[in-house]
Structure 1
Amino acid sequence: MISWGAALTLLVTTYMGEASIPGMAVAVTKDDQIVSVQGYGHDSTGALVTGRTKMAIASVSKSFTALAVRQLADEGEVDLDAPVFGSKVTVRNLLNHKSGISDKTLKEKSLPQPNSPQEAVERAAEVLRTAVPDGRFRYTNTNYHLLARVVEEASGENFNAYLKKHVFEPLGMRDTTAIDVTPRDLPPDFPKGFGHAYGVDVALTEPDRFVAGSDGVITTGDDMAKWLAAQPRLTPQGGMGWEEDDQGRLRHNGIWFTGTAGQLLTKDGYGIAVLSNSGLTLGNDGTFLLENGIADVVAGRTPPEPSSYRLLIDLVLAALTLTSVGLTVRALRRPRRFPKAWQVLRFVPLVVLLTMPSIIGVLYGGRDITFFQLVHYSLPLVVWLGVSSVMNLSVAVVRWRQ
């Protein structure tokens, strides 16, 4: 029995309780050896999560795409510094998110979704013609959608089939697959992930999105352990589907609206993967902090006490919703106290509601999000703004008629 096994279980289960996460799988490796794979909690069918429970790893998938590109580069089939698709953008620019393309120049989620990497290139054609790589980091899934097509053109194979033949199967990742579109292409034995609202976890279907190359890998804790154990001989690099943190460790996190995941390679040879079936919400930005805590545990350090503001945020939003109703009832019962011109301020909640996708995008570094996806992100936030808008508009109409 590993010396830190009990400490790991305590950390993960405490974190799950604090953050209201129904199920998790955690894999730990040391150098090229698998040390531990554990499942915790349950999936949306009620079954216990195990090392073979299929879960989404979202943008952790980018490290698999980067490996495919590197394989083809090693074989001389891809020139990392050659421009692609008639643009000034090179393969290396795409890998490093320094292509000049961003969610601001191409609305990755709110535009009509492609169905294949070829269609993704067609959708990005105009942006590619005008993109100027300037060395600035701008994270967008579009870069990796385009890389999926680079793999197809260089290999002559379908991108997902390439990953299966040249990455998953050689590593023994028999329960891993890659898809093009959610939820259409999800495996039949893939249990839904969860959304969260007012302290309640609700099984949800992932919104319709194109995910090939960027965040389309569906895998298990067991298979992620095999992936991590292979990294010493795959020699991952920062900027090639991995990001270097402020401690010089390589990692990448992933976020779906119904699941989150992350992987971390420490300097002392440990590999850590966390798969969660609870999606992105206010107060749950992913598994980053848990990965750090696990790294502390396996290194013999005491991790920070897990904490989460997820429930508190939802309760505050619920209180604000009830307050909006109460203030409206009070305003309607009392005579008008302010000039009619001031009633225009009552349109503020509606304006905020309508612009909230843009506001959230700014908070997440300019990322694109649709209103439907915003509901998945925080139903309590949308409910508060919606109720407040209706209540304020009701008062405004009454006041203007007086």
Structure 2
Amino acid sequence: MINRVLLPVFLFLIIGCSSETKKVVSLADDVTFLANDALQGRETGTAQELEAAEYIMNRMKTIGLTPKGNAGTYYQTFTFKPKKDPHGQVEYMAGDSTITGTNVIGYIDNKATNTIIIGAHYDHLGMGGEGSLYRDGEAIHNGADDNASGVAILLKLADSLQQVNTNNNYLFMAFSGEEMGLLGSNFFAKNPTIDLSTANYMLNMDMVGRLREDKTLSVSGTGTAPIWKQVLNSSNTAFKLVLQESGVGPSDHTSFYLQDIPVLHFFTGQHEDYHKPSDDANKLNYEGMQLITEYIFEVISELNTAEKLAFRKTKNESEEVPRFKVALGVVPDYLFDGKGMRIDGVSEDRPAQKAGLQKGDIVIQLGDSTVIDMMSYMRALSTFEEGNTTKVVVDRNGKKIEADISF
């Protein structure tokens, strides 16, 4: 464990001091730094987030990216009043601001007509707070998967794309303020440091560190350009792909989709450590992260000589999500493509845990409603209020089990 006193030394060892002695920085090296206790969860606007920003800036310098923030720097700052809707499409307030976030932006200028935007957020929840699922008081939320994993892949791609696939320019952005409502990407999209009309497409890596044994990889935004599905499938040799068309979702690609830019969001799925202090660097699948890095590179390579991608609007699936008055207390498996809703985690002292439901159970009925997928599960859940009781039926290893649920 690296404490605050050792951070400058660690930073020096990671970024090196000259091109002749430049150390090859691994995905694990980047995650280990960003998800260290010394950065206290990288909450937006804190001194610890600025330490993370400085690290990313120095990595970009070492890689050879040129600054593309404000005033010839790698930084783009923005100010806002915090609001209580993490991941909602909120408008930050520039007047009477209380918090300053910092996007970190580097550029590869290939003198091309169009630019590919590659992004990942680097902020996290700090000591917990509004977005945390941890119930035992304050604790450091290191956010190794969410989203040091995405930043590590971003930096690896930046290194890999030097002087190759030169038919586009590349803009690499580590976003601040994502956990408070996509604030950093929202600000950039409305105050871009490039001409957004030249943006070819945007790739977003958010929670890409927990690739499972079956190598399931979710890619959202596939409906935002007609060519996406073809390219994703033809470039794939390793993954079980779960493709979702909508360009709107709870991550930074949404800000670019709303500017009529084709987007993709890469995601390896929810887990029991999501938004908890236990999301640590030693739990990541670094071999899986390397596979994802190579896959994204292949997608970029296949499109290198293609014309600028055509943008297409998609259905906003978030508008169809029912409102809930109660919760079951489970983490759904968003990568499950079978019938029902598979449980990926069970929260302590919540209805599901009290009813004896377990990780891996597949909810196939809730009350009078048959559950065939995530949307039907949410519709069923939305019909209940606090104090209601009902039956739930789950498939546990091929056996149907019925339990009583009290909300």
TM above 0.5: no
Q: Which has the higher strand share?
A: 2
Larger Rg belongs to: 1
TM-score of the two chains, using structure 2 as the length reference:
0.28
Q: Which has the higher helix share?
A: 1
**TM-score, scaled relative to structure 1:** 0.28
